[in-house]
Amino acid sequence: MSTERKPRVLVAMSGGVDSSVAAAMLVEQGYDVVGATMQVWDYSSCSIDEGNGTCCSSLDVDDARSVADLIGIPFYVLNCEAKFKAAVIDPFIQAYMDGQTPLPCVNCNTFLKFDHLIQKMKELDCDYLATGHYAQVKNDENGKPAIYTSTDDWKDQTYFLFTLNPEIVPHLLFPIGGMKKPQVREYAEKKGLVVAKKKDSTGICFVGSQGYDKFIETQVPMSELKKKSGLLKRYPSEEILGRHQGIHHYTYGQSRGLGLTHHEKLFVIKIDAVTNTVWVGDEEYLYSQKALMVEPHWLTDWSQDQTYEVKIRYQHKGALAKLKKVDGGFELDFVEKQRAITPGQAAVLYQNQKLVGGGWIKI
């Protein structure tokens, strides 16, 4: 009998169907599997059904634990509340106060899943870290491990992975990346996992069903929020249309809930956090050709003046843009005009399904 030990994997389990199936598959594939859930937010103040169906709520921790029991792996709850608040919640709130639309999942991946958990992976003597992301690690044309989009185009989550340190890519496993969601559910059902029929997590885990603006109101004192109230102005005529209760209520491209009794359909075109002005106008003004990308992260080789497929939000189909180095970052010059290029969101670059890198959109 071989005395060589089986490769050991730390699998991040949220209690959802994807990471549960990932863990079960790893067990089936013969790995020595250790499960962990990051407790990231105190849900004691949430209603019972809230959080369930989002990522990592307290009921979800129970689900993760019961899956771990069923597949027979040790399971730990790691308390990351303080880190999560500092790295994810606080910047999320700050972004809205700055008139941006944040992308908290990227920070969670950057500072928790692929930093804190990578450290735990090493400490627990594991060879790999696995998650239930819809993404794939494959060798690229140079034989180097790289991140590729998942088989399921609709669920693909590589958009949230652009900040990963390329050095850790060889240590990552995404067991469900080669499957489509219905197959994942089928597998869960076959294995008798309690989470097989659980609804997909949608939205931002810590916000729940209340909506992000209500969440912000629970976190920021009313006196601070009042300072962010200001004027609603027509773009480009500068006509004053009314007052608003705070720029955190608005996001680029929004047309509902503007509080205007205008006969035409108007959209948020721009949010000016300095003057607290929310500019609204016709849809045509939402379209632009160029975007500025800052704080770039690169996972593979890249080159200037190369055209990449670029996603400017999670559910964006992707559009071709040429990458140009400019002062303070990179300019993305799109072949076709794009709708609602939103500061605070990420621009993520791909080449033949391979994740090349990305950065934050700034205006």
Instruction: Name residues whose C-beta falls within 8 Å of residue 104's C-beta, 6 or more positions apart in sequence.
Output: 88, 89, 91, 92, 204, 206
In the DSSP assignment, the letter for residue 51 is S
Q: Does 168 bind other proteins (CB under 8 A)?
A: no
- Spatial distance between the Cα atoms of 18 and 185, rounded to a whole number of angstroms: 8
Looking at beta carbons only, is 81 or 140 nearer to other proteins? 81
Closest contact distance (angstroms) between CB of 1 and other proteins is: 16
Q: Does 222 bind other proteins (CB under 8 A)?
A: no
**Residue from 122, 144, 190, 262 in contact with other proteins (CB under 8 A):** 122
**Residue from 69, 90, 125, 301 in contact with other proteins (CB under 8 A):** 125
Closest contact distance (angstroms) between CB of 117 and other proteins is: 12
Question: Which 75-94 positions form the footprint of other proteins (CB under 8 A)?
Answer: 76-82
- Spatial distance between the Cα atoms of 215 and 206, rounded to a whole number of angstroms: 8
Closest contact distance (angstroms) between CB of 204 and other proteins is: 22
Helix (H, G, I), strand (E, B) or coil at 78: strand
Looking at beta carbons only, is 84 or 360 nearer to other proteins? 84
What b/e string do you get for 231-262 counting C-beta neighbours within 10 Å, with b at 16 or more?
A: bbbbbeeeeebeebebbbbbbbbbeeebeeee
User: Could you tell me which residues are beta bridge partners of residue 242?
Assistant: 232
Question: Which 50-79 positions form the footprint of other proteins (CB under 8 A)?
Answer: 74, 76-79
Share in percent of the chain as helix, strand, coil (round to 5):
30, 30, 40
Question: Which 17-46 positions form the footprint of other proteins (CB under 8 A)?
Answer: 34, 39
Nearest to 42, CA basis, from 59, 57, 54, 52: 57
Closest contact distance (angstroms) between CB of 358 and other proteins is: 23
Closest contact distance (angstroms) between CB of 169 and other proteins is: 17
Question: Contacts with other proteins: how many residues (CB under 8 A)?
Answer: 16
CA 9 to chain CA centroid, nearest Å = 23
**Residue from 70, 124, 196, 363 in contact with other proteins (CB under 8 A):** 124
User: Could you tell me which residues are beta bridge partners of residue 147?
Assistant: 137
Closest contact distance (angstroms) between CB of 124 and other proteins is: 6
- Spatial distance between the Cα atoms of 43 and 98, rounded to a whole number of angstroms: 26
Residues designated catalytic = 108, 205
- Spatial distance between the Cα atoms of 309 and 324, rounded to a whole number of angstroms: 14
End-to-end CA distance of the chain: 62
Q: Does 120 bind other proteins (CB under 8 A)?
A: yes
Looking at beta carbons only, is 78 or 319 nearer to other proteins? 78
Which residues here bind other proteins, judged by CB under 8 A? 34, 39, 74, 76-82, 119-120, 122-125
